[in-house]
Amino acid sequence: MPYICPICQLPLVQHIPSKGYYCKKKHHFDLAKEGYLNLLPVQHKKSKDPGDSRAMMRSRRNFLESEYYLPMAKAIATLIDKYKPESRPMHVLDMGCGEGYYSRQIKAFCECSADIDLHGIDIAKNAIFAAAKKQQNAHFIVASNKKPPYADNFFDLILKVYAPSNENEVKRILKTKGFLLTVTPGPKHLWQLKEFIYKKVNEHNITVDLPEDFEQIESQRISYKIKPDQISRMALLQMTPFAWRVKNEMLNTIQRANGLEIETDFILTLAQLKLKT
């Protein structure tokens, strides 16, 4: 079984008639109508609505659904196909999956799609609700990446696109020889948008810190220019961490900057877990 109880860490078993999940200590978790599980007990929450807000989630969905990041999503699918294991199914986790764009692209573009048992986790309930509603061929849970309630050694590959995680927990839930695929911003990512916001724009550091016991297998830099329309440009701004810095006047300027070309720059790093210490 993929899940463990977030309260006592015993395995969770599905009760077929109700579709809810139980552990031996009788902690119980209902499956929501949209098909996701909420495995974030109230006592583990640090705020009422942890994670990204509904507004950020909507902006992200609007922007991503316009396919401006499709080349990067396809590169993720290609890497998954290239490193698929011999054993079936391949258990894949989209960590900090948000509203599920990359999960949907994995199922749409991986040649080995039918062999993928796909899971998504995010701490934001609104995002998981939206992800599950749109995708029935994946298993979504509301829970924290810091303490993901999955069984030890369950996953063959973990994807992390701009999301936080806990190194030890990544190692615990990944099989030995399993893969961690991380997407981080490259040096020039969203350069022209940042020029509106910062007096001096600094390049991101290109080096990606790998967790201990992982070995880098491949690294790809994908960069290209996009020309988002006004709605997508504003959605892109709203989904970035620098949105809160933007004053109204600047917001209007960016809104009027029709035809603005923006560089995207992504670093995809594939690392393999060599051994468990």
Ligand X SMILES: C[S@@+](CC[C@H](N)C(=O)[O-])C[C@H]1O[C@@H](n2cnc3c(N)ncnc32)[C@H](O)[C@@H]1O
Q: Is residue 214 close enough to count as binding ligand X by CB under 6 A?
A: no
| Sites for ligand X among residues 150-209 (CB under 6 A) | 161-164
Q: Could you say which of 79, 127, 170, 234 contacts ligand X (CB under 6 A)? A: 127
Residues 36-95 interacting with ligand X (rule: CB under 6 A): 51-52, 60
Q: Out of 39, 80, 116, 123, which residue is the one contacting ligand X (CB under 6 A)?
A: 123
**Of positions 59, 103, 145, 264, contacts ligand X by CB under 6 A:** 145
12 binds Zn ion (CB under 5 A): no
C-beta closer to Zn ion: residue 27 or 74: 27
Site for Zn ion contains 194 (CB under 5 A): no
Within 16-55, the residues that bind Zn ion by CB under 5 A are 23, 25, 27
Picked from ligand X, Zn ion, none, the partner binding residue 51 (CB below 5 to 8 A depending on kind) is ligand X
Q: How far is the CB of 22 from Zn ion (least distance, A)?
A: 8
Adjacent-strand bridge partners of 141? 37, 121
CB of 144 to ligand X, least distance (A): 4
Minimum distance from CB of 247 to ligand X (Å)?
A: 22
Nearest CB to ligand X, comparing residues 51 and 186:
51
What is the contact surface with Zn ion in residues (CB under 5 A)?
5, 7-8, 23, 25, 27
